[in-house]
Amino acid sequence: MTDTANPLIRIAGLSKSFGDFVAVDDIHLDIGRSELFSILGGSGCGKSTLLRMLAGFETPSAGKVEIDGIDVTHLPPYERPVNMMFQSYAVFPHMNVEKNIAYGLRKDRVGKHEIARRVDDMLELVQLGDFRQRKTDQLSGGQLQRVALARALIKRPKVLLLDEPLAALDKKLRERTQFELMNIQDELGITFVVVTHDQEEAMTLSSRIAVMNEGRFLQVGEPKEIYEYPCNRFVANFIGTINTFEGTVASVDPDGISIQCEELGSTLRAVGDYAVAVGQAVGVAVRPEKIFISRSEPEDLYDARLRGIVDDQGYLGNLSLYRVRLESGKMIQVSSQNRRRSSKRFVEWDDEIWISWQPLSAVVLVD
Ligand code: ATP
């Protein structure tokens, strides 16, 4: 559980305008101690501007930032208990690994022995002991990223801000480095605030995620919460793949709600505490992995049951993906895990099939 009762960072009504353009719009957020918090959004949504305001590189147009109970809104970067790791890593190519890592402490005139001890600790933490004498232009992308991380951490900030920390790495290395980053964060207990446009990265790394669009936070929550209970259509479509159906609330009862979907010619059920009224237009969203495919009509009368034809299918090794054309013409995506090793496909192109899902798997989208 995240401890936000005693937050390390408190952001209140923070905004930033460039001329008439509002890049960050009235953000309120508490970040707990030792959290690995991600700000996730597409290009231009304002996430880097928000991070730069936390770092002190950008002056807010309105609002306040507190770190550990101290108002830092108007403090310069070097007076904040914060360090920032930039997209470009900003390591010095003419210095070796050791000197790069020691740089911040040297500048602060920390004693020689103290520097040596702390550099050793950092080299061990980021597992670069064997590379201490190497020039940084002789390192791989992943190693460079770890030098930058060590350089940012050696001054023991209370908060480390990371702007797209893994963007320069290829997929395999990025996945591995994600786990390294999590381990290091866990070991040091420093609060990390990560800006990323990569939803998989945010889901893997974070204790909590804020999904941002047009300068605003649309939803803040744990990865599972955001994936399973997206609060609106934007978040639902931004995170992972989802099928959405438009409809009208037909009835509301203690067990859930019924939604008449004209495009399916069917009524769907959803379970949950939704503040909706009969007659209201809503969306119903279902993730591909929550949908079952069967050859015969499913028996559970409470489940959504629709007929369709397999229009396309793809084999991804661990998963199979299906595009199913429903009788109404609507295309939907279904995924199923390949638990057994078999050369025979369960269903083929053009097979007539049934799809079904449980009411609990349906998410009602109001916005
Ligand atoms: P990306 O992932 O592409 O870096 P981002 O979400 O980090 O995007 P920001 O860099 O925060 O986006 O920029 C948000 C918006 O503010 C963008 O439309 C950008 O053009 C604008 N912007 C940022 N800095 C300035 C500036 N100094 N002057 C004018 N507009 C700016």
* CB of 47 shorter than 6 A to ligand 1: yes
Confidence class for position 344, pLDDT limits 50, 70, 90: low
Return the ligand 1 atom nearest residue 41 CA. Answer: 6
* CB of 46 shorter than 6 A to ligand 1: yes
How confident is the model at residue 341, as a pLDDT?
Answer: 72
Across the chain, mean pLDDT equals 91
The answer to whether residues 246 and 234 touch, using CB atoms and an 8 Å cutoff, is no
**Residue range(s) occupied by CATH 2.40.50.100 in the chain:** 242-365
Q: Which residues of 27-49 are buried (b: 16+ CB within 10 A; e: fewer)?
A: bebbbbbbbbbbbbbeeebbbbb
Least confident of 98-102, 132-136, 191-195, 344-348: 344-348
Which CATH superfamily includes the segment(s) 9-237?
P-loop containing nucleotide triphosphate hydrolases (3.40.50.300)
Residue 320 CA to ligand 1 center (angstroms) comes to: 39
Write out pLDDT tens, residues 109-125.
999 999 999 999 999 98
Q: Which of 20, 27, 45, 164, when mutated, tests ligand 1's pocket best, judged by the most ligand atoms within 8 Å of its CB?
A: 45
Return the ligand 1 atom nearest residue 87 CA. Answer: 4
Cα distance between residue 338 and residue 324, in whole Å: 18
Residue 41 CA to ligand 1 center (angstroms) comes to: 12
How confident is the model at residue 343, as a pLDDT?
Answer: 62
Class level of CATH domain 242-365:
mainly beta
| Residue in this structure with the two tokens 């790394």, named with its chain if needed | 205
Termini Cα distance of the chain: 28
* CB of 215 shorter than 6 A to ligand 1: no
Q: What are phi and psi of 96, to 5 degrees?
A: -80, 175
Cα separation values, 66 from 10, 72, 153, 233, 309, Å: 5, 6, 21, 32, 56
* CB of 45 shorter than 6 A to ligand 1: yes
- Compute the average pLDDT of residues 300-309: 88
Beta strands in the chain (DSSP E): 9-18, 21-31, 36-41, 62-67, 70-71, 82-85, 159-163, 191-196, 208-213, 216-221, 243-253, 256-261, 266-270, 281-286, 292-294, 304-315, 319-326, 331-337, 352-357, 363-365
Return the ligand 1 atom nearest residue 51 CA. Answer: 11
% of the chain exceeding 70 in pLDDT: 97
- In this predicted structure, the answer to whether residue 291 has a pLDDT above a threshold of 60 is yes
- In this predicted structure, the answer to whether residue 6 has a pLDDT above a threshold of 90 is no
**Residue range(s) occupied by CATH 3.40.50.300 in the chain:** 9-237
